[in-house]
Amino acid sequence: MLIEAGFEIAFQCPNPTPMLLQLNVHPSREADLRSRDMVVADPYVPTSGYLDHYGNCVTRLVAPAGLITFKNRFIIYDSGQPEETPPDTELTPIARLPNDVLLYLVSSRYCDSDKLADFAWSHFGAIAGGYQRVQAICDFVHSKIRFSYADARATRCASDSLHESAGVCRDFAHLAIALCRCMNIPARYCAGYLGDIGVPVDPNPMDFSAWFEVFLDGRWYTFDARHNHPRIGRVVMGRGRDAADVAISTAFGPAQLMRFEVTTFELVVDGIL
């Protein structure tokens, strides 16, 4: 299956403004690309790129004063299969976890698991098996949080979501990640594209999506507390401890968002999906 995806994002800057963008497909999916994945700026500005500490592609530039638009359009291959469900094996003891996984067990900016440990153990401590415990957490978060763009707030952390019970996809992910970490399950934040492939079309404008991955049985598995069932066609852009590590744009000065359009859909080739 082929997926076409892309975005168009515009900012108004009163002064020349250094910016960092995380708008490319994650390197783990580069082999699946069937066209060039390139962020284009209008007006043109010189850019450079690097991989951050989490292996995400970052574009670095100085936006000129005035309106600047960033856009991209690419085609990527996908298996067309729903995401894999992990085996319900016992959790890997912390002493046997790989070194690079350990940072996904501790609190971070938006996943303040240190505030949720008592709650997590009282609600999920009796559940055996790694998969069953993670799924119970997803079920809880899915029913606890009401999805609402109107209630989005950039400063909301996981403990806030537990009490406020409203938010957007990043809030679902943050709360689920924090609760998993409380239960000694490594969990990391993911952001990227998720189109309406194999599900009813969402009438709301498309956006980038947030979900999470947990380390079970020696590898990472995808979970999504907002949708709470395996999906088709997810394309990861970035991974990190939480949304602070995977910001799609960081401006070192005033930069007002003027336009934000995201698209992703299954590509029809000669009348065949």
Show the 3-state SS of 63-86: ECCEEEEEEEEEEEECCCCCCCCC
Does any domain span residue 87?
no
Kindly report, residue by residue over 42-74, the tens digit of the pLDDT: 999 999 999 999 999 999 999 999 999 999 999
Which residue in 79, 94, 155 sits closest to 130, CA to CA? 94
Residues 38 and 135 in one domain: no
**Residue 116 burial (CB count, 10 A):** 21
Contact call for residues 137 and 225 (beta carbons, < 8 A): yes
CA separation for the pair 2, 21 (Å, rounded): 25
pTM of the predicted model, to two decimals? Answer: 0.95
Residues 117 and 231 in one domain: yes
Number of domains in the chain: 2
Kindly report, residue by residue over 219-250, the tens digit of the pLDDT: 999 999 999 999 999 999 999 999 999 999 99
Residue 128 in this model has a pLDDT that exceeds 90: no
CA separation for the pair 241, 80 (Å, rounded): 28
CA separation for the pair 135, 259 (Å, rounded): 36
Please report the pLDDT score of residue 270 as a whole number: 55
- Between the two ends of the chain, the Cα-to-Cα distance in Å is 7
Does any domain span residue 86?
no
- In terms of Cβ atoms closer than 10 Å to its own Cβ (0-12, 13-18, 19+), residue 51 is exposed
Q: Is 253 helix (H, G, I), strand (E, B) or coil?
A: coil
Does any domain span residue 209?
yes
In terms of residues, how long is the chain?
273
User: 129 or 225, which is more confident?
Assistant: 225
Tell me the C-alpha to C-alpha distance, in Å, between residue 112 and each of 71, 173, 184, 249. Answer: 34, 12, 14, 23
Residues 37 and 164 in one domain: no
Does any domain span residue 272?
no
Mean pLDDT, to the nearest integer, of 202-215? 94
Tell me the C-alpha to C-alpha distance, in Å, between residue 263 and each of 6, 74, 86, 97, 142. Answer: 5, 11, 29, 37, 25
Residues 30 and 127 in one domain: no
Instruction: Provide the domain limits for residue 63.
Output: 2-79+248-266
Residue 273 in this model has a pLDDT that exceeds 80: no
Does any domain span residue 271?
no
Token output for 240:
């990190």
